[in-house]
Amino acid sequence: MSQPIASNIAHIQGEIARLCACCGRQSSQVMLLAVSKTVNAEGVLAAVQAGLRGFGENYVQEGVEKMQALAALQPNLAAQLQWHLIGPLQSNKTRVVAEHFDWVHTIDRLKTAQRLSAQRPENKAPLQVLLQINVDGAASKSGIAPAEALDLALAVQALPHLRLRGLMSMPDAREDAAQMQALHAQVRDVLLRINEHPAFAAQPLDVLSMGMSGDMAPAIAAGSTLLRVGTAIFGQRAYPT
């Protein structure tokens, strides 16, 4: 398994460099986050050995079990990893997330952020968080409306054990790359408007979690700083029955 994963990562990193060059950006401005849901600890270890350090999990318990398995397999390497929760967060899971994860991408309610802050252990660094923006506007999707982002950002920024870093979005796929880029650009513009507020002058938001395996190009062109890529790294997922 390790050789295909390493080859896939090298190919994606080359593609990121090419896409960044096309729009006048440095590839160092874009982090590759490996989406490791349903991937076992050995698969994650192969990605670690290929140079990746950031991993995104959709399911809290699966992620925690993987952290523990990797700590047993490679304790020295495991300490260098960053774990991102990129799936929805239920209120009864906030304590586990606050205790184990480094990042949460899916904040869309102040109550959730307050619980995470209150439950973050004192001996850990502040939990890095992103606000999820529902740029599609669909009632069935998670996230807040772009117009609500500033108010929530101000409230989350004030919480003592969190550090608000930016925004995340997951718009539905469009066949037209220009339409996809326009959606990502809307989220970028929300971040720029938030940073215009005096409260963010000293520490502006600097992360845009936008783009996955199928829309890297429009996401990078729109300003993404973090790509969530799973299938292109690990192959098609084998979901448990």
151-173 per-position pLDDT tens digit: 999 999 999 999 999 999 999 88
| φ, ψ of residue 216 in degrees (nearest 5) | -60, -45
DSSP structural state of residue 27: G
As a whole number, the mean pLDDT across the chain is 94
Look at residue 240 in the predicted model and tell me its pLDDT: 62
The two three-digit tokens of residue 228, written as one number = 């969530």
Q: Which of 86-90, 147-151, 173-177, 203-207 has the lowest mean pLDDT?
A: 173-177
Residue 241's pLDDT band, with cuts at 50, 70 and 90, is low
Radius of gyration of the chain (CA): 17
> Within the chain, how many helices (H) and strands (E) appear?
10, 8
Cβ(24)–Cβ(61) below 8 Å: no
Helix (H, G, I), strand (E, B) or coil at 162: strand
Can you list the domains of the chain with their CATH numbers? 2-233 (3.20.20.10)
Distance CA 38, CA 63 (A): 9
> Helix 177-195 vs helix 149-157: angle between axes, to the nearest 10 degrees?
50
On the question of pLDDT at 5 being above 70, the answer is yes
What string of DSSP letters covers 115-128? HHHHHS-TTSPPEE
Residue 230 and residue 37 in contact, taking contact as beta carbons nearer than 8 Å: yes
Phi-psi region of 236 (alpha: psi -120 to 50; beta: other; left: phi over 0): beta
- 120 Cβ contact partners less than 8 Å away, ≥ 6 residues apart: 98, 99, 126, 127, 161, 162
Range 27-53 average pLDDT = 95
Residues 107, 130 contacting (CB under 8 angstroms): yes
Take residue 62 and report the two structure tokens written for it.
């699966």
pTM: 0.95
The single-letter code of the amino acid at 179 is Q
Fill in the DSSP letter of residue 146. Answer: G
List the structure tokens of 87: 């799936």
- Beta-carbon contacts of 62 under 8 Å, excluding residues fewer than 6 positions away, are 37, 38
Helix (H, G, I), strand (E, B) or coil at 159: coil
